[in-house]
A = this chain, B = another copy of it.
Amino acid sequence: MTNNNSESPIRVGIVGVSGYTGKEVFALLLKHPKVRVTYVAANNTQGAMGEIYPEFLNRTSLVCQKFDIKEAAAKCDLIFLALPHTESMHVAPALLKAGLKVIDLSADYRLKNIKTYENWYGHKHADAGNLKKAIYGLPELFRAKIKKASFIANPGCYPTAAILGLAPLVSTRDDIQSIVVDAKSGVSGAGRKASVALLSAEINENFKAYKVLSHQHSPEINQYLSQLSGKSVGVHFVAHLLPINRGILDTIYVQLAKPITATQLHTLYKKFYKIEPFVRLLPLGSQPEIKNVVYTNFCDIGLAVSPDKKMVVITSAIDNLVKGAAGQAVQNMNIMCGFNEVEGLI
């Protein structure tokens, strides 16, 4: 495996390049100085990348192919899997066996409890072995493990915004009474597949909640918050669909038993994220806006406290395709490969 001192870039492939996250990984890697994209595959669309996606015209001569494990293994040192949930687990094992590093952007390796996975995703899990080995790729919490990992379960978009918003509080307070995560996402989060409900004329000038208290990202949030907290944490999670292309903003309500001042809260978050290159804590009185984080790998966080000091409101904003998917995946690659963590991302 190449490292950051070598002259030659690592050889990277993307499987599932035709969806929004796959395309975003590809776009980021085209600008990454330590990487050469050597292989792109998709099941539904084949052909020159510049023809399939005119945004890549004159920027690449790569040809998108039907996935072939042997070719992938021969051409790549590391593979990003941007496949739909329940498909990754059928592809990852062979790639890992062939000695490649793998970063999986699907949900297949995020939930450690197989029953939970099967309940929420409605399919048998086919790869219990690698599930145990997969490292959850949230660098702000698991950087040390990611550094040594060869297989990453890249976090979901909603969990990234929610967990980063809650981590400092959940890991330090033992008086949390309840947590509400009111999450709003742009439409690219729903993926790139034909659907009447996602037509422009249905989404534009509209807004709605969906999967109220029953979104499949809830168990992912709960699992990692519980791990952080040392005891079981369960959030009340409601997803909403924003009529914009990119971005998630979470408004998170934490009811505490004991009071905290706004300044204490701000200090807590400042310390927690002190060394983080991609978490920006806003001054008290400022609120994150989606426009400030789109096309970036930043997570912006704002804080407020109720007059009685027992209700904390955390707002957390990311680009769902960048910090919520492709950008975080590249950040994980940078860590795994010993590159500068922000390489290609700032």
Q: What residues make up the interface of A, taking CB atoms closer than 8 Å to B?
A: 20, 31, 51, 54-55, 57-59, 178, 180, 182, 184, 186-188, 190, 192-196, 198-210, 212-213, 236, 238, 240, 242-247, 249, 251, 253, 255, 277, 280, 282-283, 286-296, 298, 300, 302, 304-307, 311, 313, 315, 317, 346
> Which residues does chain B contribute within 8 Å of A202, judged by CB atoms?
200, 291
Contact in complex: A184, B187 (CB < 8 Å): no
Q: B57 contacts A280, CB within 8 Å?
A: yes
> Are the CB atoms of A199 and B187 closer together than 8 Å?
yes
How far, in angstroms, from A338 to B80 measured CA to CA in the complex?
A: 38
A80 to B242, CA, bound (A): 34
Identify the closest chain B residue to A238 (Cβ): B251
A63 to chain B, nearest CB (A): 16
Contact, CB under 8 Å: A187 / B207: no
Q: How far is the CB of A296 from chain B (nearest CB, A)?
A: 8
Contact B242–A315 (Cβ < 8 Å): no
Distance between A316 CB and nearest chain B CB, rounded to angstroms:
10
Which 5 pairs of residues, A with B, have the shortest CB-CB distance?
A200-B203, A194-B194, A208-B289, A206-B291, A55-B292
Are A204 and B292 in contact, with the CB atoms below 8 A? Answer: no
* A94: min CB distance to chain B, Å: 29
CB of B212 within 8 A of CB of A287, answer yes
**With a CB–CB cut-off of 8 A, which chain B residues contact A193?**
196
Contact B205 A290 (CB under 8 A): yes
Select which of B243, B287, B315 is within 8 A of A204 by beta carbon.
B243
Closest to A198 in B: B199
